[in-house]
Structure 1
């Protein structure tokens, strides 16, 4: 294994996005699997149904099996996936899922797992799966379905700095149920695409993945990728076949234009994740699988911060997994289950800022159903915090605000440091829209960050913008309301508020709110 290096904040965001976006693609595709193909004018929604039938936002076997791998990778010591203990943990999780949690299962996967289930002569379940899978392929039975590609994403996160090790692991985990070399090749290509995207924030890793294959198969795969880049996703209708599924997913990603950022018109480059996943669903046939495959790579490129808030709120599935869990699993795998200095993402209680240890809360000046505050509010008795939904703009512990249902506790990936947000306009807008959406449902919402001084007022001001308040008035009124808490407004986040409204930001000397609050000195210099 390569030596673990400390990921950047952007790389953490992208690692967090891999399983989350894959699950969102899966849940988005569930209602349309094997049904008439959606037209370009129809927008897929997480409405549930499908082959399960599934609840709205519930993902299928694609993500269920990925979670089996992910949980094995965080439950074992950080050694190579090829280690028999790790591989056996994955195999055991597959078998447990097969007997207790599978809501749907592909024919090839079922064939292998059903035979292995009854073999008690071998103590290592991974060796039984490998034997059954390889025997099936050697006998000429179909073994190139999508069952291994759809679940491969966690493997890509485990050893981010070693492409050869990742490729070897991807093929071996594929072989547990799908021993056809084409299935293994597809997993190698896609894992390299994901691994590279997490590190570099581009899609070039897919082509680099082809170079990790045996030389005699590289030209064939480059041709398949060329075809995908030249044709729309629906032109690969046999997407129950691993090669066609990869082509459909790659087509959806590469043929969906990346929007040019125009915050004032609500257009963001990060929208590429959503638009490409919608295109993947429109491929038709095995819609959830194609979209899950595409989602893993899109999440690796764009990050958790690019996943729409309402998707994050809805997505869930076996075994009682939510968006928060998917984010945590992705980060933990990429960190080889080692938390950072603050214990994130494993700590039950995230450390409070030393200068913000006391709870602080105040009503939003333009909507008293929104409470503005800080993270120490999680320490209050729920009866003293009269909210039933929370939008967190900072890291929180797994037990912070535990009385709020997971569905109503949204965590928006916003960093209070200029230049640190991969999609700052989009993320700030999503935070405000999350508050707006929850309020439309009649929820009483807490909007908070660590100290309640920078992210909170800017997200609150953007929410005011959604209510029709101009940004200068919004910033003035919000900062006045928060003035006892001494807000220090991050100049970049403040600028995002004005950009989103399509309004020029006034010079520092003309900003009324500066006379009513403590201004971050860095802001004045800018």
Structure 2
């Protein structure tokens, strides 16, 4: 690989970015803007969910699984005896990137790569599963090694083995795609942002993988994730223009081949090219229309991972790559709560992260990049609701003595016996008492507004929230179900829980739940879901 192999025409990148941004009117951009934080979180949680779901089947033939979208899909096991819901090296290597991007502007030179290299090196010394190429490169480094040392090591490994085109850099590239700018007119793509993504993707790939195929794949996937996070759609031609001109036709043909194929048609998916093609095939087989954000449904997300895993081979990595783009398209709302609740894994020396914490890291990356990032999206230890009126509402669920329904203020004064919390509003990272175990905290981001764009996949999200209450109760937990004031979100989910799991007639469920909460009045969008559930009982 010569230096010219990686030389990029920045004018062409700027043209690609400009063309893509011009596809949207101000009104369209405004419609898509509320979903940006959700799509960013969806990319990272989607990556980790795919990783954890695929881990048990790694190195084997197609398992022929059918994903139900419940916690039971997270079976664990496999070659490395993973716990149910535990992610592998794919996500573990992405975590230092998330942390670095959340603290340092990726355009600031090489400070990020060197810090990341050292964290990867320390992790690889104890990790049960590290790719052969990555282990060979990191194993040659010392505690004083820099990013340049890592690239030199990657080149030496490549020259000694004759290859370095594994999928180990593509699997971790999703954080690069989260770099999105914000202004008063909303989120948008800029030439500077695309330039930073292209440069970062290739440089970070080269830390362990010298082969230009690995760098190209990371650039393509990172730019596509950026497009999906920013706008909810992907323009393949614009993404291809971010590659060196001499290699665009080849990758255009590879993507076209995959779009018409099955993921299993690319069996050498430890190779970065087949891994990307298998993921691209899985996304198309699942029904994603990349230019229509309305096709990015919960069913499409679930099916994309199912197709990816059923390709066999490097199942965790192909599913992680697939989940990163599928999650960026569909958003975190499309990911089953049962999967999110079990999700966990390495988050640093002695640290175990949850899926919710991964989502928070994703949003922190965007806040760091966009100086005008909306306050309503920014993570904080506590969200102050003291000006919202009565936030001390509390009542027993009229149909289940093991469920309390109320307002956010009850997090500071939990009823006796409560050992699980389902939150239906934005809360801080330290707002749920430490006594509640991480796996018994479920956060559902619902907005008490009726506009369709505010709550993507509304019916799915509401039913998932009700099912989460049922799952916790089945485990013997006493649950606090809350929103801000227990006016709209809490009564809606409480009534759905009665209807779906306790056999209570719809009209009676709504009437008696609302009678228990003095200010209960589900908004029209939520009420329409309740009516639909009543008619299908």
Q: How does 1:372-391 map to 2 (within 5 A)?
A: 372-380=405-413, 382=414, 384-391=415-422
1:304 aligned partner: 332
CA spacing shift, 1:363–1:348, aligned 2, 3 Å: same
Instruction: Check conservation: 2:266, 2:275, Cα contact below 8 A.
Output: yes
Tell me, in whole angstroms, the C-alpha distance in 2 between the residues paired with 1:213 and 1:258.
Answer: 24
Is 1:244 matched up with 2:277?
A: no
Instruction: Check conservation: 1:171, 1:184, Cα contact below 8 A.
Output: yes
Instruction: Check conservation: 2:506, 2:533, Cα contact below 8 A.
Output: no
Find the partner of 1:346 among 361, 365, 379.
Answer: 379
Report the 3-state secondary structure (helix = DSSP H, G, I; strand = E; otherwise coil) of the residue aligned with 1:115. coil
Find the partner of 1:394 among 425, 445, 453.
Answer: 425
1:270 aligned partner: 298
Deviation of 1:136 (Å): 2.9
Tell me, in whole angstroms, the C-alpha distance in 2 between the residues paired with 1:428 and 1:40.
Answer: 26
1:57 aligned partner: 85
Tell me, in whole angstroms, the C-alpha distance in 2 between the residues paired with 1:114 and 1:15.
Answer: 32
CA spacing shift, 1:300–1:341, aligned 2, 3 Å: closer
Instruction: Give ranges in structure 1 of 5+ residues lacking alignment.
Output: 260-266, 505-526
CA spacing shift, 1:339–1:437, aligned 2, 3 Å: farther
Tell me, in whole angstroms, the C-alpha distance in 1 between the residues paired with 2:382 and 2:421.
Answer: 16
Report the 3-state secondary structure (helix = DSSP H, G, I; strand = E; otherwise coil) of the residue aligned with 1:331. helix
CA spacing shift, 1:341–1:13, aligned 2, 3 Å: closer
Is 1:440 matched up with 2:474?
A: yes
CA spacing shift, 1:164–1:501, aligned 2, 3 Å: farther
Report the 3-state secondary structure (helix = DSSP H, G, I; strand = E; otherwise coil) of the residue aligned with 1:38. coil
Question: Which is worse superposed, 225-234 or 244-253?
Answer: 225-234
Instruction: Check conservation: 1:145, 1:240, Cα contact below 8 A.
Output: yes
Find the partner of 2:250 among 207, 212, 220.
Answer: 220
2:97 aligned partner: 69
Report the 3-state secondary structure (helix = DSSP H, G, I; strand = E; otherwise coil) of the residue aligned with 2:301. helix
2:240 aligned partner: 210
1:362 aligned partner: 395
Over aligned residue pairs, what C-alpha RMSD do you find?
2.5
Tell me, in whole angstroms, the C-alpha distance in 2 between the residues paired with 1:215 and 1:502.
Answer: 57
Deviation of 1:165 (Å): 2.1
CA deviation digits over 1:74-97, x for unaligned, max 9? Answer: 2x333516x121221221221121
Tell me, in whole angstroms, the C-alpha distance in 2 between the residues paired with 1:502 and 1:216.
Answer: 58
Instruction: Check conservation: 2:286, 2:301, Cα contact below 8 A.
Output: no
Deviation of 1:469 (Å): 2.3
Instruction: Check conservation: 1:344, 1:350, Cα contact below 8 A.
Output: no
2:354 aligned partner: 322
CA deviation digits over 1:133-152, x for unaligned, max 9? Answer: 12333456321100100000
Is 1:183 matched up with 2:204?
A: no
2:130 aligned partner: 105
Find the partner of 1:144 among 140, 162, 165.
Answer: 165
Question: Which is worse superposed, 299-308 or 154-163?
Answer: 154-163
2:184 aligned partner: none
Q: How does 1:33-44 map to 2 (within 5 A)?
A: 33-39=58-64
CA spacing shift, 1:341–1:37, aligned 2, 3 Å: closer
1:518 aligned partner: none
Tell me, in whole angstroms, the C-alpha distance in 1 between the residues paired with 2:45 and 2:509.
Answer: 33
CA deviation digits over 1:4-41, x for unaligned, max 9? Answer: x9993311111111111100000000000012312266
Instruction: Check conservation: 1:195, 1:205, Cα contact below 8 A.
Output: no
Tell me, in whole angstroms, the C-alpha distance in 2 between the residues paired with 1:42 and 1:367.
Answer: 30
Tell me, in whole angstroms, the C-alpha distance in 1 between the residues paired with 2:170 and 2:51.
Answer: 13
CA spacing shift, 1:187–1:502, aligned 2, 3 Å: farther
CA deviation digits over 1:401-444, x for unaligned, max 9? Answer: 22211100000121111121111111111111111111112211
Tell me, in whole angstroms, the C-alpha distance in 2 between the residues paired with 1:350 and 1:42.
Answer: 35
Deviation of 1:275 (Å): 1.4
Tell me, in whole angstroms, the C-alpha distance in 2 between the residues paired with 1:53 and 1:482.
Answer: 46
Tell me, in whole angstroms, the C-alpha distance in 1 between the residues paired with 2:67 and 2:420.
Answer: 31
The TM-score, its normalising length taken from structure 2, stands at 0.85
Q: Which structure is richer in relative contact order (CA contacts within 8 A, separation 6 or more)?
A: 2
Instruction: Check conservation: 2:65, 2:306, Cα contact below 8 A.
Output: no
The TM-score, its normalising length taken from structure 1, stands at 0.87
Find the partner of 1:89 among 115, 133, 151.
Answer: 115
Is 1:170 matched up with 2:201?
A: yes
Tell me, in whole angstroms, the C-alpha distance in 1 between the residues paired with 2:536 and 2:261.
Answer: 41
